[in-house]
Structure 1
């Protein structure tokens, strides 16, 4: 579904990524973890063509989309829930959701059924929503593109515990339906219950990969790279 090979990128003279490798298969849930400033968001930005790769490849399905325009990445089947949500503040919930909609299984009614809270707030503007409601809109907007893979950058950052639980429940439901998901988040406990595999990066390099059992069993990985 998604294959990233030897990805290098940075800002100006600063190199941030030093050869990132990761894969996400169809129906698979994979995490990208690491402490703040280690290159997670830079990796996502480079995958989506928002930052130019200096080396390496981004392959979606059978297409090499390295440094492709962001709209081509979206058309290839990747949906992004960006860090900070970035919903349209002066559009209401319905308008936010249909702004980038494509034909497919995910419709407005289906998204509102997934997030009943949004159904209740459907006529409210983006800037009238709580952070948790905005995150639900951002997830719903990505689903409305009918992606083959949905990518969440900081899935639950800054959200209240009850809202986090709603987001995790939503992602578990998406996994049960066979949606491929790549998640950036810091909640190791929740991720270990949801994901199939984990990729940990440190200073722009992959330093550890493994499945749930390996992550749970490795106190060294959690303490050294995740500060858990």
Structure 2
């Protein structure tokens, strides 16, 4: 039996002396969409920061395609095939849309290129000469997703996929993620819109105070409304 695309086991992490992750575990299979859920401050972004090499875990294991990545620098982790759409988007403000897209691009046979990104997000084609700082929040999020896809990642990670966006733009982002799912893109997504996450993903992982407290399918999540009340405030 082959190893999952991503396996995080017993992850622990701290900011200085303050421990914030105590026991986070999750797996993602190739082609699977998995959500990371939990109230604010429960460790979702910290888990992603550790996964991407922005923090050094205090304990535990992170294996990508069977290879341990704990301790590897962020650029090596990205090169291994993890593409991040960070919280707050963080597009390059003084580069044009097109320059943002090609800045970190990785060529791949039959992979993402400018033409396919513009097909996915026609608005980016229209704004391709505009600077990152001249885009609306929704356009910046499209650009951040496009930039991550241009690295042709094996796993796409979205931290707060639709936070702060207008409802119409949110719907466009969810539609984009459905398209990526239909193409077999592996995705780990964080967002507060539980119903949208349920529609998109096969499996869900809930964090509470830096620990994985529940993992299960959409059907199992829907079947137990107390889970949302207890852990998600829904």
Q: Tell whether the structures are fold-level matches, with TM greater than 0.5.
A: yes
Query: What do the CA deviations read for 1:172-224 (whole angstroms, capped 9, x no partner)?
Result: 00000000000011111001011010000000001111101111121111111
Aligned residue in 1 for 2:225: 219
Matched, 1:194 2:204: no
> 2-side partners of 1:216 and 1:119: how far apart?
39
Query: What do the CA deviations read for 1:84-127 (whole angstroms, capped 9, x no partner)?
Result: 00000000100000000001110011111100111111111000
- What's the Cα RMSD here? 0.6
Aligned residue in 1 for 2:141: 135
After TM superposition, what 4+ stretches of structure 1 lie above 4 angstroms from structure 2? none
Aligned ranges 1:1-16 → 2 under 5 Å: 1-16=5-20
Aligned residue in 2 for 1:112: 118
Contact 1:46–1:67 (8 Å) recurs in 2: no
- Find 1:33's aligned residue among 29, 34, 37: 37
> 2-side partners of 1:71 and 1:224: how far apart?
38
Matched, 1:207 2:213: yes
Moved more, 168-177 or 59-68: 59-68
Aligned ranges 1:26-65 → 2 under 5 Å: 26-65=30-69
Aligned residue in 1 for 2:161: 155
Matched, 1:126 2:132: yes
- Find 1:86's aligned residue among 87, 90, 114: 90
SS in 2 for 1:159: coil
Aligned residue in 1 for 2:173: 167
The count of corresponding residues between Structure 1 and Structure 2 is: 228
TM-aligned CA deviation for residue 143 of structure 1: 0.3
Contact 1:30–1:197 (8 Å) recurs in 2: yes
Aligned residue in 1 for 2:183: 177
TM-aligned CA deviation for residue 63 of structure 1: 1.2
> 2-side partners of 1:121 and 1:103: how far apart?
23
Please list every run of 5 or more consecutive structure 2 residues that lacks an aligned counterpart in the other structure. none
SS in 1 for 2:169: helix
